Structure 1
Amino acid sequence: MTDTATQICELLHEASATHHRVFRIVDGDDPDWASWYAEWLIDLSELPELLGTTPVRSELVYILVALDKEYSGGAQKAAWEDFYAHRLIDHFVASK
């Protein structure tokens, strides 16, 4: 895994842990989880710096939901954070 992918993977793991703490009263259940993640990743993490661009919030929400469906729909061997990190890099960095 590249250094950037590793760092994004770690941010996603941190976002997950933080989200679960924030939504602890409902055991992490949040139907609009992707909006929360997008806001946290854009405003409270180093994701924009790592990607070299600040994603538009709605685009990041869309990508996170699409990644969730893709990851959940297949037999993935990688941890979800690894899977998402590489796809985020592909989408936001490779498409520049």
Structure 2
Amino acid sequence: MEVTVAEDIEGVAALLHEAAQTHHIVYRIVDGKDPDWASWYAEWLITLSELPQLLARKPVRSELISMLVTLDREFNDRKVAEAWERFYAGRLLETFGAVPA
């Protein structure tokens, strides 16, 4: 069974959504506010999720932090209509590649 690009995007988007929910729980005392959120997300995504298995190349933590910050800025500046998780997932897959089916 061949995995489609849409399925790859949905898989990564689901992990990003899970990271967001988990981050909000961890930082509930400050209503999810965390100025260093990208560092937390990167660490969680690389070490506590399946993200490295969904990408052709495992991201270096600092590279993923930088990319998350850039994606956040682009998403908000461009006022993208799709869900942020799908937008980020597409760009992450463009950069790191999908695992071949």
Q: Which runs of 4+ in 1 moved over 6 A?
A: none
Q: 1:32-73 CA distances to partner (integer Å, 9 max, x unpaired)?
A: 000000000000000000002211000000000000000010
Of residues 33, 37, 45, the one that matches 1:41 is 45
**Percent identity, aligned pairs only?**
59
How large is the RMSD of aligned CA atoms in angstroms?
1.1
Counterpart-to-counterpart distance in 2, 1:57 and 1:10: 19
Of residues 56, 62, 66, the one that matches 2:60 is 56
Matched with 1:29 is 33
Matched with 2:79 is 75
Q: CA deviation at 1:74?
A: 1.2
Would the aligned equivalents of 2:55 and 2:97 in 1 still touch at CA under 8 Å? yes
Matched with 1:18 is 22
Structure 2 stretches of 5 or more lacking a match?
A: none
Tell me the secondary structure at the aligned position of residue 2 of structure 1.
Answer: helix
How many positions carry a matched residue from both structures? 94
Which letter does structure 2 place at the counterpart of 1:16?
A
Counterpart-to-counterpart distance in 1, 2:8 and 2:18: 15
Counterpart-to-counterpart distance in 2, 1:52 and 1:13: 21
Give the TM-score normalised by the residue count of structure 2: 0.90
Give the TM-score normalised by the residue count of structure 1: 0.94
Q: CA deviation at 1:2?
A: 1.3
Structure 1 stretches of 5 or more lacking a match?
A: none
Residue 91 (1) aligns with residue 91 (2): no
